Amino acid sequence: MKKPVLKIIPLGGLGEVGKNMMVMEYDGRLLVIDAGLSFPRDELLGIDLVIPDFSFIRERADRVEAVLLTHGHEDHVGALPFLLREIKVPVYGTRLTLGMVRAKLEEHGLAEEADLREIEDDRPEQIGPFHCGFISVAHSIPDGVGVAVTTRVGTVVHSGDFKLDPNPIDRRRTNLGRFGDLGGKGVLMLLSDSTNAEVEGVTGPEKSVGKTLDQIFSLASGRVIAASFASHIHRIQQIVDAARRHRRKLTVVGRSMIRNVQIARDLGYLKIPEEMLISMGEIGDYRPGKICVLSSGSQGEPLSALSRMAAGDHKKVKLERGDTVVLSAKPVPGNEVSVNNVINSLFKLGVNVVYESVSPVHVSGHAAREELKMLINLTQPKFFMPIHGEYRHLHFHAELAEEMGIDRHRIIKASNGDVVELSAGKARIAGSIAAGMTFVDGLDVGDIQDVALRDRQKLSRDGTFIVVAPVREQDGTLVSPPDVTAKGFVYMGNRRELMKEISGLVKDILGETAGERISDPAVLQDHIHRRLAKFLWKKTRKRPLILAIIVEV
């Protein structure tokens, strides 16, 4: 009789931060754990999101049992709408996770046909040949779970993202007893979060940030603008609590922040007194010391609410001397330059800026080394596989597992696309499959295709316009006339007159932005791109590729 085989195939999240996605294959059936995205590096111009390559799943769509979500962060659920366009399967998650996912699916027009199934910590699910148990874990978002997947081969424990916070905001601790019970019954392999495998000791408690926020609010004479991840519900609750203690009204800005705050309030995960909330239009009705603005954009995203405030381009919130901006988040690897640019722009405006490097306004949601040791100790796995992190994180986590007594030959250091086989008490990397990345261009919502191919199609059909505008770094004023070049653009009217009109339009745009004290290159490029695209469509009924280049002098 052929011995049963369980395959574990990471499609993302190994050797990188974000894009977390894992496939388990047993008895010809597939179980997908998480479907996350990552944000593009600076050199990936024109790309909005990066998601896993779904080829392996797409080719086996009829064999997929379900998608199981560990929690609601974008790096674990952000790619789900794109996946559900290709396969129609049930999606399992906790109440808050599904609430956030449902809103995301509505944006993509997929909510009505989605099969969303709520899971609970103490209620296992039989999903095809996979017996799935769920373990509550503390993280920087409520309702996170680890997963124990059992087949005839044995039990594999997936930690999800976790930390061992002894007194979390929602009192929902990591269930160490449950992990210990699994260890007592026998864990074949532990897949464990490696994000903080370099960090000694234990991760600080989330409540410690609340004390710092309270101090900041007590010293702030003007408005407090607090930026965090829109999904960090625990951090948002602490910002709300600090504002309430200091009798400040609260307004929420940024599309993702407004959406998540509403979802979390509706589901009972976020407590904000109704009388505390005001609209952005009401900010001027109160003196600055009575206002708190909760904003998205803690990662320096070019067109986010905070970045627009820093550039002086936000329609409702104009920052002034005396305001305090709190960045209550750590830059995701790759976002450091963008975050630093926002911080520098804020200082130029004369506001007080508080961020992780100068004040303890952030703690991680991921377990440090002593906590990782605890999980290994409790589960006593026969085999160990580090997941979720860059290669150095996986390396240090593997070393830690060896320190804890796991034989190095039982530690599997896999990469995205590796096929890890578990059978007859053995584990090995048996091969690999294609597991690259897919670029998403968000100009058309949900349009997945090779961005280079899209640009070539545009070039062949409508050509391209290149606008080079030299501006003063200090104030964004135009130094000399913009240089406008058209390639492959066919126009039956007076081409010279059209180019003069475009040059004049760019001058007008930059004159307006300079008057509003906007100097951030990304914002200036966005203004030119939007206005010029609208002008060319109205004038010529063509949509050429527009490259706006701001040269600071």
Give the catalytic positions in this structure: 193, 366
Q: What are the tokens at 495? A: 């081409």
- Residues with Cβ within 8 Å of 194's Cβ and at least 6 positions away in sequence, in order, are 372, 386, 387, 388, 389, 393, 394, 396, 397
Tokens 């829109």 belong to 230
CA 540 centroid distance within chain: 38
As a whole number of angstroms, the distance between CA 122 and CA 551 comes to 59
Place of tokens 């986590």: 397
Structure tokens at 17: 């931060």
Phi-psi region of 361 (alpha: psi -120 to 50; beta: other; left: phi over 0): alpha
Closest CA to 55 of 23, 28, 26: 23
Catalogue the E-assigned strands of 399-436.
418-423, 426-432
Amino acid at 257: M
Q: Strand 189-193 to strand 29-33: parallel, antiparallel, or no bridges (unpaired)?
A: unpaired
Cα distance between residue 164 and residue 378, in whole Å: 13
Please choose, from the candidates 377, 409, 300, the residue with its C-alpha nearest in 3D space to the C-alpha of residue 346: 300
d(CA 364, CA 330): 8
Least Cα distance to 543 among 530, 552, 553 occurs for: 530
Contacts by 425-431, CB closer than 8 A, 24 or more apart:
425/154, 425/188, 425/382, 427/189, 427/383, 430/7
| Sign of the C-alpha dihedral computed for residues 215, 221, 227 and 232 taken in this order | positive
CA-closest candidate to residue 520, choices 462, 482, 471: 471
Do 188 and 421 contact (CB within 8 A), yes or no?
A: no
Instruction: Please report, in angstroms and rounded to a whole number, the separation of the first and last CA atoms in the chain.
Output: 75
Number of Cβ atoms within 10 Å of the Cβ of 379:
25
Residue 503, class by beta-carbon neighbours within 10 Å (0-12 exposed, 13-18 middle, 19+ buried)?
A: middle
Q: Residue with structure tokens 């545009």?
A: 458
How far is residue 22's CA from residue 14's CA, in Å, rounded to a whole number?
A: 10
Report the C-alpha gap between 473 and 471 in whole angstroms: 6
Q: Give the amino acid at 459.
A: L
- The number of residues in the chain equals 553
